[in-house]
Amino acid sequence: MPPINIIRYSLIFLLLAGLKVAPVTAQTQATPQISSIVQLQIQDAIGPATSDYIERSMDKAVESGAKAVLILLDTPGGLDTSMRQIIKKIIASPIPVITYVSPGGARAASAGTYLLYASHVAAMTPGTNLGAATPVQLIPAGNPDEPSGDELDKAKPSGDKSKGETVKNPMMQKALNDAVAYIRSLAEMRGRNADWAERAVRDAASLSAEQALKLKVIDIVAIDRTDLLKQLDNRVIPVLGQNLTLQTKDAEIRLIEPDWRSELLAVITNPNIAYILLLAGIYGLIFEFSNPGSIIPGTIGGICLLLALFAFQVLPVNYAGMALILLGIALMIAEAFVPSIGILGFGGLTAFVIGSVILMDTDAPGFGINIALIGAFALSSAAFLIIALGLLLKARHKSVVTGSEELSGSIGIALDDFSGTGLVRVHSEIWRARTRESLHKNQKIQVNNRDGLILEVSSIPNQENLHV
């Protein structure tokens, strides 16, 4: 073989070998990618804004390639619907969700207990507690006929292992059994203590962090986040049927805080704010309809009413309460139109207060309307709708005192003798006047109409006892 061909084939061989080796060399020399953990926070009652924040943040965590989601939890409870939305998202998550009750003194009460049981890893800080997961509707406040959580155990005969027999109301029993089955299913899915989970629902039982770890209710007790990540390192977590190994030793923590959308949703879904928006919207529209053309009250009222309706769409609203509020406002308006010695006004005020009290169909912490706010709006509503609206209606029936309409029928005097067009004095003002008859100086006249700056006048047959 000629030397030129040997050199040619040697170069081609070296080139091909380089193409095969280069990617491997680059891959082996690449810097290892540091794993990241997305941190979220729940530090208040769980509601629509909380579920929106958690769901969207978990989607961002998955899209960014995070290896896990860490939720710092401190909550007194919240709405059942919002809690279940978050739990569905946790169960369907392709990456582990670690729920950590922190800092010391925090709690995972009621709905927070369900979130702990649903998470892939449940952790607590010393000095925290969880439990008291009985649905609050099952124990109406101030009703002596219904037993409290501790009284449920005392009411059971000794040796009787049956659960929930003291709950007499069938609907309450149904809700209780549903809550028990739900939390037991979460406990069995995560391999945690299902019997204690049932006690937390039926008997409102609570546990400290150390007791929870001892009873296998949680997985870890960690003094702080660093300790938590240290204990989680190399832990194998089952996620959607696959075992994933957490690498948390040098993990980067990325905090995702609520954005403007979550903050806005948190504000307008606050029951007190939603209540104020509802009444502001109704009053704005009432003022606009009673004084057409005002524009500003109607515009602001329409915006407030739409925001309130959006908030009530995601809040547990009692529509009987809403109807009573509207009825109360209608009766107070009727009092302004048809004086009834206060009967309509008092009835409207009573319906307004009762409707406001029962408007929120839940006893969940953080989702009630402040009684002081209800009282303030009840009194101000009565003052506005009965007194102010009544004065406005009376003012509309008074005679006109300004403008061209007020001139019609006014009395004046002729300043000269004239027929056709001349000058007259009306209300101490000199006007050019037009008449179809002859008028004499100082003769009293009556204004019939106005055409621009010219008055149409006529003489007065009987001029006695008339004053200009």
| Radius of gyration from C-alpha coordinates of the chain | 39
In this prediction, residue 217 carries a pLDDT of 94
Catalytic residue among 174, 214, 216, 230: 174
How many residues are there in the chain? 468
The CB density around residue 166, as the number of other CB atoms within 10 Å, is: 16
Domain 404-459: CATH superfamily is Nucleic acid-binding proteins (2.40.50.140)
> DSSP per residue over 382-450, as a string?
HIIIIIIHHHHHHHHTSPP-SSHHHHTT-EEEESS-EEEEEEEEETTEEEEEEEEEEE-TT-EEEEEEE
CB 129 within 8 A of CB 107: yes
In this prediction, residue 341 carries a pLDDT of 65
In this prediction, residue 334 carries a pLDDT of 78
Beta bridge partners of 246: none
Torsion of CA 164, 168, 172, 176, to 10 degrees: 0
**How many separate helices (H) and strands (E) can be counted in the chain?**
17, 16
In terms of Cα–Cα distance, which of 240, 242, 244 is closest to 91?
240
In this prediction, residue 168 carries a pLDDT of 57
Name the token pair of 89.
């998202």
Name the token pair of 167.
């709950």
Q: How far apart are the C-alpha atoms of 407 and 302, rounded to whole Å?
A: 39
Query: Does the 36-258 domain belong in CATH 3.90.226.10?
Result: yes
Element containing residue 200 per DSSP (H, E): helix 194-202
Low-confidence spans in the chain with pLDDT less than 70: 1-34, 136-168, 336, 339-342, 363-364, 366, 385-406, 462-468
Burial pattern 409-443, b for ≥16 Cβ within 10 A else e, equals eebbebbeebeeebebbbeeeebebbbeeebeeeb
In terms of Cα–Cα distance, which of 91, 98, 52, 435 is closest to 259?
52
What is the model's pTM? 0.67
Annotation says 102 is catalytic = no
Annotation says 294 is catalytic = no
**For the chain, which residues make up each domain, given as ranges?**
1-30, 36-258, 269-396, 404-459
Element containing residue 108 per DSSP (H, E): strand 107-109
Taking only the tens place, the pLDDT of each residue in 427-449 is: 888 889 999 888 888 888 888 88
Catalytic residue among 57, 102, 110, 356: 110
Q: How far apart are the C-alpha atoms of 218 and 35, rounded to whole Å?
A: 25
In this prediction, residue 339 carries a pLDDT of 64
